[in-house]
Structure 1
Amino acid sequence: MKTRNLFTGIILGITLVFGACTIQEDNIGDITINEGGGTGTTSGAVILEGQITENRTLTSSEVYELRGGVSVVDGVTLTIEAGTRIIAGNTGGVFAYLAIEQGAKIIAEGTASQPIVFTSNKSTPNPGDWGGLLLAGKAPINRGTTATTEVANLTYGGTDPADNSGVLRYVRLEYTGGKINEKAEYNGLSLYGVGNGTTLEYIQAFNGNDDGIEFFGGTVNLKYAIVTGAGDDSFDWTDGWVGNGQFWIAQQTSAAGDKGIEADNLESTPNAAPFSNPTLSNITLIGAEDGDGENKGIEFRAGTKVTIYNTIIKAFSDKGIEVDDDQTLINLNNNEVIVRNSIIDNENSFDLDHGGATVDLADFATFNNYSTDGSGAPFNTAGTSIPDVDPDNDEFVISGFRGTYQFTVAVDGVDNFDPSTLGIFFDAANYVGALQEGDTWTSDWTRL
């Protein structure tokens, strides 16, 4: 696929995502989000609390309410029918959450027309109304053989990369992120040492108070994921996560937000093994200004390794991609931090720890990355214009998000990357971003 289609992916990534939503919307600042949801009543709800110690099925004919910490214990499977609604809040300052412990399974298989929804029990919901969904598995981490989660006191980690915690498909997690103290908050979906026998597809974290989806080590893969309105980072990894990801969308709002992706190996020991080293493709990260001027598209730090293809980063108020810390820069210089075939349309495209790198991700000839300074002219960060080899000087208009942008494509005839060559997890998608023309995978089950 040629450059023309690569830039078309920006338009689609902005205008098609959530295009089929029909929920009433309100405008907050310059971003459109939905403030509906919740139930306003717990009357008639089936209460879930404490430990689930035998196999159980939650049916779509009931509404269920989580009270306090609810844990599915080793050897037990919790099945949730398509269309089931689960509400949660906090009682006396204790936030409700659902935890799938090591050796337990959750089988939550919704559909596009009948997603499984976890949401607030309040009539006027807000980010942080309840905890979130936690999975703890037995796959390797780099904090030791096992560790204990910062919330819910779960054991995670082990020696089984193929560990199976079940299935999450067409699941929406709303208003999560209850704050315990200054150092501990729940995420929308927390994945602790989860193995690649687990299936994670079509998951949305909506208006959470902390991170949307976070990986704490493990080998689990994630496909078709959306984080909308995260109060902190949209996607986050640490503790040696080595899985795969494809078709991710992060959309910040002006209410709150930090990074599209925050990526660590291990803060206390940046060279801890196994290194965080995921492979990602077809990612769309759309930023917003929340008032602090510090939002970043991606920050690689604390020794992470990574390979990313076919990504769009747009409209973050600080930097497009930042690489921090000595070990991360060593990895970058060893070609173990790779971003290729991507578009960084941001005020500041790359910050490689203020010149501490010998590898320049903006080197078009090596990495096929397009970057702009926000004015619309493609260039590399050294300030040298990319040679124009396209006699037609094609123009492309990016519209539908924070105004309309127009600029001239300066390069043509360059093939994009086909991620299906990376392995069986990846679909053929040699276009930039998470969507192309005709895609409908965000339809019906998502919300704004």
Structure 2
Amino acid sequence: MSIFNYKLSNTLATIMFGTALTFTGCGSDDDDDTTPTTEVETGENTEVETGENTEVETGENTEVETGENTEVETGENTEVETGENTEVETGENTEVETGENTEVETGENTETETEVETGENTETETEISSNGYEFSQTAIQNVSGEITEDTTWTNDKVWQLSGSVNVIAPAVLTIEAGTVVTGANGADYLAINTGAKIHAEGTAESPIIFTSLQDLAGQGAVSQWGGLTILGNAQSNKGTSVYEAGTQNFASESADANGESSGVLKYVQIKYTGFEVEADKELNGLSLAGVGSGTEIDHIEVYVGGDDGIELWGGTANLSHVAIIGAGDDSLDWTDGWTGTADHVYIHQTENVTSDDPRGIEADSNGDNPTLEPISNPTISNMTIVADDENAQQGILLRRGTSASISNSIVVGSREKSCLEFRDSATLDTQPIFENVVLGGGCSAHFGGDDGVEADGVQNQFEAGTNNSVSDEVDPMAIAQSYEGDDYIGAFDPNAESKWTDGWTHEFIQPKFVQ
């Protein structure tokens, strides 16, 4: 059940991008049943204005096109209704303004199309109302190119990314609570480059939403825009690297910038992302490359993306209260020497699978030389990993020399592979630490090994930790409730009256096996 539903219906798409100008005349009560239909096409500099209490209705299969510089204004109490299969196209510099109490309804299969120049101050005005929710945004503002000075995106607009938008040092991009940022295709993404900052601090009542333009019309789906990328100067075991998104390199061989701040992300939704820049180089929901520990990342939801939910390349970034739901590939992925922390992490692998090896966690240190320093070695606590899809692979896969310290966590769910697997002896040699961890039911096996590591070796390392166990139970909350330690295990306190996901996330999907 959607707890904080920001979906907008086709109503929004139609009123944002065009107003139907084909009018159906209404005869008197004495007229026959034949309704005359007028087709109206406007050229350049055309102004159409309706008075108060005007009703405008278009029939099925109506095509409406406006030329350049067309102004359409409706008075108070105007009702506009379009039938099925209506196509509306607006030309350049079209302004659409609606008065008070305007009701707009679109039928099925309504297509809207617009050509929008990505210059300054391109906006379309509307009052947005859909599915019983009222929204404060009254315009779409298109942005593109580089941001080189301090800039604020206000919450009275929808900010539409046009291509890659790069924030360049020393600029700070501030995004107000309650702001909506959209992309329309995979080439649309936001990159905070090295030395620049983002300050996106939402609240539980007014989260900041990064989503697809299609989502505003109620048609959100996987891989509809690129995603959010942050590049920093913190240490990586590959030194300075080139990232597939952004205009600058990231990370460093030195630890001097490990405490660097790239800004703030709080109470943020990131939805419907994922784009392949080139073979084996994809944009994720949230990409953190060389990001330092001074960056505040707290209360983040990544929802239904085409590639990984969150991926980290080196750095010392710390994550807190993170929900990753419906990642197409791996939910949490790290490599290149990440040594930060993650606490209160909820991973739900749904049936939205776009790869052949989707994992709850896929973790590496360095694929070329697994002994290079710094070794990936994050500290993770209070994590829950569940899976609904039988094609889901390992709950946790540690490989290529990574280590980790994982505590107070639960791994369960329907999956084709094991709950916990080590791949290669370099990983086993790092002796990952487990404490108060339960591997539950639903996995093909509790332990797995590959590339020179046997499952028994993984089990031995797991049992060398403190208070770890295996179980056939598949309900993570039941596991958490039965835990008898001083603290609780899993992402959510089983005795709390609410979850930290309540109120600000797009949707919290209960796993199928606990519904």
**TM-score scaled by length of structure 2:** 0.67
* Deviation (angstroms), 1:365: 7.2
* Aligned AA (1:223): S
Aligned to 1:30: none
Aligned to 1:97: 189
Aligned to 1:246: 343
Asked whether the 8 Å contact 1:239–1:276 carries over to 2, the reply is yes
Aligned to 2:468: 369
Task: Confirm or deny that 1:21 pairs with 2:7.
Answer: no
**TM-score scaled by length of structure 1:** 0.76
Counterpart pick for 1:260 among 328, 339, 360: 360
* Aligned AA (1:433): G
Q: CA 1:38–1:359 in structure 2 vs 1: closer, same or farther (change >3 Å)?
A: farther
Aligned to 2:47: none
Task: Confirm or deny that 1:113 pairs with 2:205.
Answer: yes
Counterpart pick for 1:148 among 236, 242, 245: 242
Aligned to 1:80: 175
* Deviation (angstroms), 1:183: 1.3
Q: Bigger CA drift: 299-308 or 178-187?
A: 178-187
* Deviation (angstroms), 1:65: 0.2
Q: Which has the larger radius of gyration?
A: 2
Task: Confirm or deny that 1:325 pairs with 2:420.
Answer: no
* Deviation (angstroms), 1:364: 4.9
Aligned to 1:421: none
Q: CA 1:250–1:49 in structure 2 vs 1: closer, same or farther (change >3 Å)?
A: same
* Aligned AA (1:47): N
Q: Choose between structure 1 and 2 for higher RCO, CA contacts under 8 A separated by at least 6 residues.
A: 1
Q: CA 1:68–1:118 in structure 2 vs 1: closer, same or farther (change >3 Å)?
A: same
Aligned to 2:152: 57
Alignment of structure 1 residues 271-350 onto 2, 5 Å: 271-289=371-389, 293-317=391-415, 318-332=417-431, 337-346=432-441, 347=443, 348-350=445-447
Counterpart pick for 1:45 among 119, 127, 140: 140
Asked whether the 8 Å contact 1:329–1:357 carries over to 2, the reply is no
Asked whether the 8 Å contact 2:194–2:250 carries over to 1, the reply is yes
Q: Bigger CA drift: 237-246 or 352-361?
A: 352-361
Asked whether the 8 Å contact 2:421–2:455 carries over to 1, the reply is no
Q: Bigger CA drift: 311-320 or 102-111?
A: 311-320
Asked whether the 8 Å contact 1:289–1:295 carries over to 2, the reply is no
Task: Confirm or deny that 1:445 pairs with 2:504.
Answer: yes
Task: Confirm or deny that 1:435 pairs with 2:417.
Answer: no
Q: CA 1:126–1:358 in structure 2 vs 1: closer, same or farther (change >3 Å)?
A: closer
* Deviation (angstroms), 1:363: 5.9
**3-state secondary structure, aligned to 2:169:** coil
Whole-angstrom distance in 2 between the partners of 1:36 and 1:201: 30
* Aligned AA (2:403): K
Whole-angstrom distance in 2 between the partners of 1:432 and 1:296: 20
Asked whether the 8 Å contact 2:412–2:440 carries over to 1, the reply is yes
* Aligned AA (1:53): T
Deviations for 1:274-316, whole angstroms, at most 9, x for unmatched residues?
11010110001111215xx352110000100110001110114
Q: CA 1:169–1:245 in structure 2 vs 1: closer, same or farther (change >3 Å)?
A: same
Whole-angstrom distance in 1 between the partners of 2:342 and 2:303: 19
Q: CA 1:56–1:283 in structure 2 vs 1: closer, same or farther (change >3 Å)?
A: same
Asked whether the 8 Å contact 1:37–1:120 carries over to 2, the reply is no
Q: Bigger CA drift: 436-445 or 200-209?
A: 436-445
Whole-angstrom distance in 2 between the partners of 1:276 and 1:35: 41
* Deviation (angstroms), 1:38: 12
* Deviation (angstroms), 1:350: 1.2
* Deviation (angstroms), 1:22: 5.2
Whole-angstrom distance in 2 between the partners of 1:73 and 1:80: 16
* Deviation (angstroms), 1:206: 0.5
* Deviation (angstroms), 1:180: 2.6
Structure 1 gaps, min length 5? 1-18, 25-33, 377-396, 417-429
Structure 2 gaps, min length 5? 18-123, 125-138, 508-515
Q: CA 1:342–1:286 in structure 2 vs 1: closer, same or farther (change >3 Å)?
A: same
Task: Confirm or deny that 1:161 pairs with 2:258.
Answer: yes
Whole-angstrom distance in 2 between the partners of 1:21 and 1:132: 23
* Deviation (angstroms), 1:151: 3.1
* Aligned AA (1:322): E
Asked whether the 8 Å contact 1:189–1:212 carries over to 2, the reply is yes
Whole-angstrom distance in 1 between the partners of 2:352 and 2:231: 31
Counterpart pick for 2:297 among 180, 183, 200: 200
* Aligned AA (2:429): I
Aligned to 1:134: 229
Whole-angstrom distance in 2 between the partners of 1:150 and 1:259: 22
Counterpart pick for 2:370 among 267, 270, 276: 270
Asked whether the 8 Å contact 1:35–1:125 carries over to 2, the reply is no
**3-state secondary structure, aligned to 1:342:** strand
Whole-angstrom distance in 2 between the partners of 1:36 and 1:362: 52
Asked whether the 8 Å contact 2:412–2:476 carries over to 1, the reply is no
Aligned to 1:170: 267
**3-state secondary structure, aligned to 2:427:** helix
Deviations for 1:168-187, whole angstroms, at most 9, x for unmatched residues?
00011010102233312110
Q: CA 1:114–1:187 in structure 2 vs 1: closer, same or farther (change >3 Å)?
A: same
Deviations for 1:44-84, whole angstroms, at most 9, x for unmatched residues?
41111000011111111111100100011010000000000
* Aligned AA (1:280): I
* Deviation (angstroms), 1:118: 0.6
Q: CA 1:38–1:97 in structure 2 vs 1: closer, same or farther (change >3 Å)?
A: farther
Q: CA 1:20–1:254 in structure 2 vs 1: closer, same or farther (change >3 Å)?
A: closer
* Aligned AA (1:265): S
Q: CA 1:141–1:364 in structure 2 vs 1: closer, same or farther (change >3 Å)?
A: closer
Whole-angstrom distance in 1 between the partners of 2:396 and 2:12: 35
Counterpart pick for 1:185 among 282, 291, 294: 282
Asked whether the 8 Å contact 1:329–1:356 carries over to 2, the reply is no
Overall identity of the aligned pairs, in %: 37
* Deviation (angstroms), 1:326: 2.0
**3-state secondary structure, aligned to 2:182:** strand
Whole-angstrom distance in 2 between the partners of 1:21 and 1:368: 35
Whole-angstrom distance in 1 between the partners of 2:329 and 2:301: 15
Deviations for 1:204-240, whole angstroms, at most 9, x for unmatched residues?
1010000011111001100000101000011110010
